[in-house]
Amino acid sequence: MTPPDALHPRKTPVQSRSRASYEAVLTAAARILEGQGPGALNTNDVAARAGVSIGTLYQYFPGKEAIAAELIRRIKMQLLEDFSEAIVVARTQNLREAAVTMVSASIRHHARAPELSRELERIEETLPLDAEAVEVGGKVLSALEALLAGFGIPEPDIAARDLVSLSKGLVHAALFAGETDLGAIEQRLCRAVFGYLRIP
């Protein structure tokens, strides 16, 4: 089990040069994950690819787990932003249109960097993420619950949880199987969501 302290940066950079090194480490780790998967992620290779010394890397991150966890936090925050924007639009639509809008937001989130999303999903299953990451998931659920309640969906809290689980399960399974056609995944997810919400 990875200790929780090992999943946080040691410090947050303040000066522009430090921030550039910090971001270079994260970008290098993301490229390694995309190209070679989690098994290839190690601090020496990340530092070399980032163009920083291993000592500089360790100033900010205690190990590769902290780097991966920071990438996961960022992608979760982006998911919250994507969903928040989609919900604003969905509130002006009918239920069918709103369902498509929310499904599209989920797929668009993965479409930004599908290989990285897939690999981070794998890593997330093995890391005890902190309260911050859990809170982001809770905000997504709460926003979706409020949207469903506005459409008169019974037990919107349960429906929101079910729909998030359905979406996550379907998309994860597709990505883990190596699928790259996000349009086809979106179509299948729409059918599943329509069925759950009994949308004709």
* Residue 132: per-residue pLDDT: 66
Mean pLDDT for the chain overall? 89
Is the pLDDT score of 26 beyond 80?
A: yes
Instruction: Supply the angle between the helices 64-90 and 16-36 in degrees, to the nearest 10.
Output: 90
Instruction: Evaluate if residue 47 carries a pLDDT over 90.
Output: yes
Per-residue pLDDT reduced to its tens digit, 86-137: 999 999 999 999 999 999 998 888 777 778 887 887 888 787 766 666 677 7
Question: How confident is the model at residue 182, as a pLDDT?
Answer: 86
Long-range contacts of 165-172 (CB under 8 A, 24+ apart): 166/192, 166/193, 166/196, 167/103, 167/106, 167/193, 171/106, 171/107, 171/110, 172/121
User: Residue 130: what pLDDT?
Assistant: 64
pLDDT digits (tens, 9 = 90+) for 48-70: 999 999 999 999 999 999 999 99
Contact yes or no for 71/30 (Cβ under 8 A): yes
Separation between Cα atoms, residue 108 and residue 21, nearest integer Å: 29
User: Tokens 């299953």 belong to which residue?
Assistant: 125
Residue 133: the pLDDT is 67
Residue 109 to residues 85, 98, 114, Cα–Cα distance (Å): 12, 17, 9
Query: What does the pLDDT average to over 2-24?
Result: 84
Give pLDDT, residue 115. 80
Residue 2 has pLDDT above 80, yes or no: no
The torsion angles phi and psi of 12, rounded to 5 degrees, stand at -100, 125
Confidence of residue 3 (pLDDT cuts 50, 70, 90): low
- Of 95, 94, 75, 73, the closest CA to residue 83 belongs to 75
The Cα–Cα gap between 185 and 183 comes to 5
Give me the mean pLDDT over the 38-56 stretch: 95
- Asked if 9 contacts 60 with a C-beta cutoff of 8 angstroms, the reply is yes
Contact 19, 13 (CB under 8 A): yes
pLDDT 10s digits, 127-175: 776 666 667 778 888 999 999 999 999 999 999 999 988 998 898 788 7
